[in-house]
Amino acid sequence: MAILPGMHGSQEDEKAKSQCCQSCCWCARCPTSTRGRTLCGVGVCCALFAVFMLLLAVGLGTIGGGAITTLAAGVREDAGPGRTPVNGIRKTWLPGEEGCNYLGNKTDQEIDACGNGCYDATFISQVDAFYASSGFKSVNMSSRAGPAGQAVVELQAWYIPPAAGTASGDGPAPRVVVCHGTNQNNQKFEALIAGVLLSSAGFGVLMPSLRDHGASGSSDHGLFSWGWDYPYDVLGAWDYAKDDPEGVMGGTVQPDKVGLMGFSMGGFTVVNAFGMEKRVPAVWADAPVFSVKDIILLEMRKVIGPLALYGSQFAWAFANQKVELHYNHPAKVLPGDANGRKVYLVHNPSDKTVPTSQHDKMVEALSADTTPTLTGTWVKDSVCNNDTHRILHLQFPSEYRERLCLFWTEVFGQSQARCTNGSMIDLASR
């Protein structure tokens, strides 16, 4: 830069610094001292950093909040014309190595390769054969209406009668409503295996698909809605199982003869439904989520590490824009009329999807005197082809069924002899 007449080099330098400082500080009068200009620059940098972090948090929150409420592509897979429990489990997704957990009819060799010692084709074939002779029926029912405008939706469900020779006592057998979890429906492995275990233990089983899942009707929001309206789907199914309006289950039973069971998100849902409807005698929850907000933070941490802390609050706010995910929540609905009602929890300490902290919070929520009784917990470490979430009934079906049988016979006031005396059908599994 040329030096203007009458201006020394040092004066020109000071003028340039002042002009630079003024443009950076966005102020009419810039500090004249070096220290002042430095502080000004630091302040500008901090402000810019704060704006960047705010934008980052909003962006991450938008992505995280959208992910927890977006319906997965597979929620309606395996449902529709021609698909029944008989041909369900062999064609659906099963935990396995990459390349063999596809949708489609799998050969015995493919299933053995997929199972890799966790499960095998003999057990999968037994599930198919069981349903072929079970007398299952497709039924439809309406969800309950919610008090905050939650829409009534038509639901499709499978009813599985108790296996032949398992009747205990006079009158219709007690019933259990089974709720699937995330990215599942009543034609996928969670529900299909549960149906076999419960039916072969002597219970009627009703397996609905939640709204926007399987062959059930669509919601008015198209979101994965958690505690907002899923509990009303479960309670609509519970009403149907209790009242048997079409006479397909052998007749009406008392409310204390119909229980609830669910997996993962379905565990969260049945615990909520159980807390909301005080006439439900008991609930069995396998790997239940306790807090959707916690799961958002967990999933974001898997992707972006510590940056998740900056976005989780925005994610939660974004996720609740259209529906209130914790409208019904265990901490809200469990306290109240305990009245001898029972809860059983299943947890895998290796679970990477619903970690031990969620199990511990559920246990804590059930510790108050005014909540239902936590009758038992089954905590078992397990890994099935790198899958650690809600897989105990697939990997250990015989032990799982015995525990189910002992719990539900106690709940329903039945003899427990059949649970351990070898009278139930043998399962081709460990």
Cα end-to-end span (Å), the chain: 86
Residue 184: which region, alpha, beta or left (left: phi > 0; alpha: psi -120 to 50)?
Answer: beta
Q: Which secondary-structure segment (H or E) carries 160?
A: strand 154-160
pLDDT bucket at 42, cuts 50 / 70 / 90? low
Q: Which two tokens stand for residue 348?
A: 């895998």
Give the mean model confidence (pLDDT) for residues 132-140: 97
Amino acid, res. 310: Y
Q: Is 262 helix (H, G, I), strand (E, B) or coil?
A: strand
Contact (Cβ atoms closer than 8 angstroms) between residue 178 and residue 205: yes
pTM: 0.87
The backbone torsions φ and ψ at residue 88, rounded to the nearest 5 degrees and listed phi first, read: -80, -55
For residue 411, how many C-alpha atoms fall within 13 Å in the half-sphere facing its CB?
34
Lowest mean pLDDT among 9-13, 161-165, 181-185, 221-225: 9-13
Residue 33 has pLDDT above 80, yes or no: no
Decide: residue 211, CB within 10 A, 0-12 exposed, 13-18 middle, 19+ buried: buried
Residue 58 has pLDDT above 60, yes or no: no
- Distance, in Å, from the CA atom of 52 to the CA atom of 62, rounded to the nearest integer, reads 15
Closest by CA to 201, choosing from 412, 428, 408, 430, is: 408
| Domains by residue range for the chain, with CATH | 71-292+325-412 (3.40.50.1820)
The 10 Å Cβ neighbour count of residue 27 is 11
Which range has the top average pLDDT, 93-102, 103-112, 344-353? Answer: 344-353
- Distance, in Å, from the CA atom of 28 to the CA atom of 31, rounded to the nearest integer, reads 10
Amino acid, res. 114: C
Q: What are the pLDDT digits (tens) for 329-342?
A: 999 999 987 788 99
pLDDT of residue 28: 47
For residue 213, how many C-alpha atoms fall within 13 Å in the half-sphere facing its CB?
28
Residue 80 has pLDDT above 90, yes or no: no
Give the mean model confidence (pLDDT) for residues 236-252: 98
Which residues are CB-neighbours of 47 under 8 A, at least 6 positions away?
Answer: none
Report the chain's mean pLDDT, rounded to a whole number.
88
- Distance, in Å, from the CA atom of 96 to the CA atom of 387, rounded to the nearest integer, reads 8
Give the mean model confidence (pLDDT) for residues 105-119: 89
Residue 34 has pLDDT above 80, yes or no: no
Residue 197 has pLDDT above 60, yes or no: yes
Which range has the top average pLDDT, 96-100, 246-250, 303-307? Answer: 246-250
pLDDT bucket at 36, cuts 50 / 70 / 90? low
pLDDT bucket at 2, cuts 50 / 70 / 90? very low
The 10 Å Cβ neighbour count of residue 18 is 15
pLDDT bucket at 4, cuts 50 / 70 / 90? very low
Q: Which secondary-structure segment (H or E) carries 205?
A: strand 204-208
What is the Rg, in whole angstroms, of the alpha carbon atoms belonging to the chain? 28
What angle do the packed helices 34-69 and 292-304 form, to 10 degrees? 120
- Distance, in Å, from the CA atom of 144 to the CA atom of 239, rounded to the nearest integer, reads 9
pLDDT bucket at 426, cuts 50 / 70 / 90? very high
Contact (Cβ atoms closer than 8 angstroms) between residue 329 and residue 361: no
- Distance, in Å, from the CA atom of 205 to the CA atom of 186, rounded to the nearest integer, reads 12
Higher pLDDT pick, 359 / 17: 359
For residue 427, how many C-alpha atoms fall within 13 Å in the half-sphere facing its CB?
26
The backbone torsions φ and ψ at residue 310, rounded to the nearest 5 degrees and listed phi first, read: -80, -20
Strand partners, 209: none
Q: Hey, which bits of 36-136 come out as E strands?
A: none
Give the mean model confidence (pLDDT) for residues 116-129: 93
Give the mean model confidence (pLDDT) for residues 215-227: 97
Pairing outcome for strands 154-160 and 204-208: antiparallel
The 10 Å Cβ neighbour count of residue 49 is 10
Cα 355 from chain centre: 12
pLDDT of residue 3: 41
What angle do the packed helices 308-319 and 34-69 form, to 10 degrees? 50
Give the mean model confidence (pLDDT) for residues 70-78: 90
Contact (Cβ atoms closer than 8 angstroms) between residue 187 and residue 83: yes
Q: What are the pLDDT digits (tens) for 349-386?
A: 999 999 999 999 999 999 988 899 999 999 999 999 88
pLDDT of residue 368: 87
